[in-house]
Structure 1
Amino acid sequence: MGLGVDFRNRIARRASEEIYNGMVVNLGIGIPSLVPNHLPKDMMVMFHAENGITGMGATPEKGQEDENLCNAGGFPVTLNQGGSYCDSAISFGMIRRGRVDITILGSLQVSQQGDLANWIVPGKKVPGMGGAMELAQKAKKVIVLMNHCDKAGNPKIVTNCTLPLTSSACVDMIITELAIFTVTTEGLRLTELFEPYDLRDVINKTDCEFTISDNVRKIIY
């Protein structure tokens, strides 16, 4: 299976299963921004963005974008009924007070201890860390959505991160196009596999040791 739109939406759909009615959820850019498209229409979830929105809706249809309404990555979003705006100081205050139930982020690397490196590749220009540091430390649950390997084929799940850390020991769950891991006090545990991949695929593309759940779920959507 190619790493295209279907692959990205499969990851986003699996992440949506971690969200429950009444939650406040922060979404990173990239694959995480697709998560609202996979929630039941009647579910009440308040999506939060660091730039000052609580209550983001699904991605607008082409031609229906509001140029003044975007997420923290600058991409168009919609606003659900009951949504609100605030300045970034209040938005970050919500994060630092632990008001965000789940943050769903992309990443460059995650270690077997749950260390997160998602803000810079040395030598590359970036606008800044954004809210990743606060979110990784203060959200009640941290979920990472990413490709299992980078463009050069190097594993992104590693024994120790070689890129600058955003935060240490903060990740609770990793979802890639191959598999789902939970982070435990003993390290990573493989709990689910996406069709058509098997355990050998995951072992070959993961640069650290991990344990395997007694009942590995096979995801077929």
Structure 2
Amino acid sequence: MQRLTRQQIARLVAQDLPRYAVVNLGIGMPTLVTDHIPPALDIQLHSENGILGMSRLDPAQPPDPDLINASKEPISLTSGASISDHALSFAMMRGGHLDITVLGAFEVAANGDLANWSLGEDDPLPSVGGAMDLAVGTRTVWVMMEALTRDHASRLVPQCRLPLTAQHVVSRVYTDIGIFDIADGHFVPKALIAGLSPGSLTEWIAGPIAWDAPPATLAPQVLGA
């Protein structure tokens, strides 16, 4: 069974973004989505360090050290982009002006709780950053993550064990084994990788599962590298 790569997960997220949406891509894996957004969608990418109208860096363009996203990666600006201070950028986040935010996570609970800023008491430098503001201020919150930890424990849980970022905010999770909506306290499979049977999902998901329709099949070889 071939699981999805991070780039393939990012491509799935990009394909689901609605046209003209204002979208924030969180630190880490979500920044990969930038490379897969079809230009025809006219997506406005927001970065919490004060950018609205962000795009991936043109390979032919030398990086500008003053133009970086929240992950400190070099980026380009779209025509008409705006640069703001943190106060205005966070006002966009807190004021409900973002349509979708895509965040990484350590755990997501079946009720939509999100834990993505601290691994617990042993974490030497915990910092919630702007994740809390994004999670509670954005209209729709999606998460990208691998289904299992390095210790093979599920990240899709009945209740988060790690410190929460926000409660009841996540509506969809994109993972290396498929896409899951969160509804009525359950993970609802919308698409699963080829070769993963519904009966084996409990090996990957610790939280309760519900079915509303047969899930689509994701073939990694079709999605590309």
Please tell me the TM-score bracket, short chain as reference.
Answer: over 0.9
The answer to whether the 8 A contact 1:107-1:146 is kept is: yes
Q: How far apart in 1 are the matches of 2:88 and 2:200?
A: 44
The answer to whether the 8 A contact 1:112-1:158 is kept is: yes
Higher relative contact order (CA 8 A, sep 6+): 2
1:23-74, CA deviations, whole angstroms, 9 ceiling, x for partnerless residues? 1100012221011211212321110011000111024438732211111121
| Change over 3 Å in CA distance of 1:95–1:15 after alignment to 2 | same
Q: How far apart in 2 are the matches of 1:212 and 1:185?
A: 11
The answer to whether the 8 A contact 2:48-2:70 is kept is: yes
Q: How far apart in 2 are the matches of 1:213 and 1:9?
A: 28
User: Is 1:16–2:14 an aligned residue pair?
Assistant: yes
Count of residue correspondences = 219
The answer to whether the 8 A contact 1:179-1:202 is kept is: no
User: Is 1:99–2:66 an aligned residue pair?
Assistant: no
1:77-123, CA deviations, whole angstroms, 9 ceiling, x for partnerless residues? 11111111000100000011100000000000001111000001122
2:68 aligns with: 70
User: Is 1:197–2:188 an aligned residue pair?
Assistant: no
2:38 aligns with: 40
Structure 1 letter corresponding to 2:9 = I
Structure 1 letter corresponding to 2:132 = M
1:129 aligns with: 128
Q: Which moved more, 1:151-160 or 1:63-72?
A: 63-72
Tell me by how many angstroms 1:145 deviates. 0.2
Structure 1 letter corresponding to 2:100 = I
Q: Which moved more, 1:62-71 or 1:180-189?
A: 62-71
Q: How far apart in 2 are the matches of 1:62 and 1:202?
A: 44
For structure 2, the 5+ residue unaligned runs are none
Give the TM-score, by structure 2 length.
0.91
RMSD between superposed Cα atoms in Å: 1.8
The answer to whether the 8 A contact 1:104-1:142 is kept is: yes
Q: Which moved more, 1:60-69 or 1:125-134?
A: 60-69
Percent sequence identity over aligned pairs: 33
For structure 1, the 5+ residue unaligned runs are none
Aligned ranges 1:64-213 → 2 under 5 Å: 64-122=62-120, 123-126=122-125, 128-213=127-212
The answer to whether the 8 A contact 1:194-1:218 is kept is: yes
1:7-29, CA deviations, whole angstroms, 9 ceiling, x for partnerless residues? 00111111112212211100012
1:135-169, CA deviations, whole angstroms, 9 ceiling, x for partnerless residues? 11111100000000111111101111100000011
The answer to whether the 8 A contact 1:37-1:59 is kept is: no
The answer to whether the 8 A contact 1:192-1:216 is kept is: yes
Q: How far apart in 1 are the matches of 2:60 and 2:162?
A: 36
Tell me by how many angstroms 1:125 deviates. 2.8
Q: How far apart in 2 are the matches of 1:126 and 1:74?
A: 18
Tell me by how many angstroms 1:192 deviates. 0.9
